[in-house]
């Protein structure tokens, strides 16, 4: 039997800093750096230019909302432009992220998010922020409503699916069916094809936190057996299909290592954005490739990348 792939590792910078939450989104970094200094015009332009790319919009709004003094600077923006829907949304998201971290009023954040959702009924971003808030301040069943509203507006929302998988993992094994169904419905180029792996990792997190399995996945045997092995093999088959001849294998491995790190830090939007940046998938069925041995192929790709370093 083919064993599961080796655990991914990732490099940190020599000074111990973590990767920039903005990832390789240069316009977001520029707007975020200006926003920290109290200059909100760049953030306004950025959100206007983002348009209806809902995954990108969610990533950018949440990243801006988490900046130091983000709530204060957004209130200044709203004073200058009281009719701006983007200002109202960013303020509500900033209130939600502060409340999720125990530094703000959760009820006030919910009211602000409700107003933002009513002002832009087609935008899933207020519901993403509410889902983030509920993950920290409510129960897993409470997450179903905001996820349902988010899903109705953007059925392939990557960050929303990761958050809901984390919530369902705390309820029980239903997370596996949720992830499998999302992967089967997703387009061939969607990172949701990897959601079953996320579900398996999230379920292990819950079991380990309860003391029901050892904290070491290998010792716990969590990745052994037919079901988890099939999940890992099919996901890595999909990953390997990204490695077209014109791609740099070292870059693919580095990006996947970073995405893996982001996932385990709980930064689901950033992990999803990384998967999206890696590139489109060239086939129709990313979760089913027969006759492949992803463990051996992954090791070969890794050796190739190390040899090119």
Greatest alpha-carbon span in the chain: 64
Residue 272, pLDDT score:
63
* DSSP designation for 45: H
H-helix or E-strand spanning residue 228: helix 226-241
Measured distance CA(71)–CA(99) in Å, rounded = 11
Ranges 39-43, 190-194, 260-264, most confident: 39-43
| Within-domain flag for 150 | yes
- Of 60, 53, 79, give the one whose Cα is nearest residue 129: 60
| Within-domain flag for 174 | no
User: For residue range 115-165, what is the model confidence (pLDDT) as tens digits?
Assistant: 999 999 999 999 999 999 999 999 999 999 999 999 999 999 989 999 999
Range of the domain at 146: 28-154
Banded pLDDT at 210 (limits 50, 70, 90):
confident
How large is the average pLDDT for residues 219-234?
61
233 versus 169: the higher-pLDDT residue is 169
CB atoms within 10 A of CB 61: 27
Measured distance CA(281)–CA(193) in Å, rounded = 10
Banded pLDDT at 301 (limits 50, 70, 90):
very low
> H/E/C letters for each residue in 99-129?
HHCCCCCHHHHHHHHHHHHHHCCCCCHHHHH
Q: What's phi and psi for 185, nearest 5 deg?
A: -85, -20
19-56 residues labelled b (16+ CB within 10 A) or e (exposed): bebbbebeebeebbebbeeeebebbbebbeebeeebbb
How large is the average pLDDT for residues 59-70?
92
| Within-domain flag for 33 | yes
Q: What is the CATH number of the domain that holds 34?
A: 1.25.40
Residue 28, pLDDT score:
93
Measured distance CA(189)–CA(224) in Å, rounded = 28
Measured in whole angstroms, how far is the alpha carbon of residue 117 from the centre of its chain?
21
Q: What is the mean pLDDT of the chain?
A: 76
Residue 291 has pLDDT above 60, yes or no: no
Residue 8, pLDDT score:
37
299 versus 112: the higher-pLDDT residue is 112
Measured distance CA(166)–CA(71) in Å, rounded = 27
Find the range with the poorest average confidence among 179-193, 214-228, 237-251: 237-251
Is the pTM higher than 0.85? The answer reads no
Residue 285 has pLDDT above 70, yes or no: no
Terminal alpha carbon distance of the chain? 32
User: For residue range 23-52, what is the model confidence (pLDDT) as tens digits?
Assistant: 778 899 999 999 999 899 999 999 999 999
Measured distance CA(87)–CA(92) in Å, rounded = 9
Domain count, the chain: 1
């Amino acid at each position: 039997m083919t064993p599961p792939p080796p655990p991914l590792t990732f490099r940190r910078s020599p000074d111990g800093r973590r990767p920039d939450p903005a990832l390789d989104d240069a316009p977001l970094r520029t707007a975020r750096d200006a926003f920290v200094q109290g200059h909100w015009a760049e953030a306004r332009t950025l959100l206007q230019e983002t348009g209806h790319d809902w995954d990108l919009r969610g990533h950018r709004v949440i990243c801006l909302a988490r900046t130091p003094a983000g709530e204060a600077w957004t209130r200044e923006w709203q004073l200058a432009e009281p009719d701006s829907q983007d200002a109202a949304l960013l303020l509500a998201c900033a209130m939600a992220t502060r409340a999720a971290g125990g530094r703000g009023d959760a009820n006030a954040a919910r009211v602000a998010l409700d107003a933002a959702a009513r002002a832009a009924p087609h935008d899933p971003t207020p519901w993403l922020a509410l889902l983030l808030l509920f993950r920290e301040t409510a129960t897993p069943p409470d997450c179903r409503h905001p996820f349902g509203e988010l899903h109705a507006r953007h059925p392939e929302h990557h960050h929303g699916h990761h958050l809901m998988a984390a919530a369902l993992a705390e309820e029980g094994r239903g997370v596996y069916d949720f992830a499998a169904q999302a992967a089967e419905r997703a387009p061939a180029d969607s990172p949701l094809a990897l959601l079953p792996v996320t579900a398996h990792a999230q379920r292990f997190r819950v079991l380990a936190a309860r003391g029901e399995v050892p904290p070491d996945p290998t010792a716990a045997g969590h990745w052994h057996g037919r079901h988890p092995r099939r999940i890992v093999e099919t996901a890595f088959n999909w990953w390997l299909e990204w490695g077209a001849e014109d791609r740099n294998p070292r870059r693919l491995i580095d990006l996947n290592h970073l995405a893996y790190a982001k996932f385990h830090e709980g930064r689901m939007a950033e992990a999803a954005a990384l998967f999206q940046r890696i590139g489109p998938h060239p086939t129709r069925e990313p979760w089913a490739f027969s006759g492949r041995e992803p463990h051996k192929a992954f090791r070969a790709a890794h050796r190739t990348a190390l040899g090119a370093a």
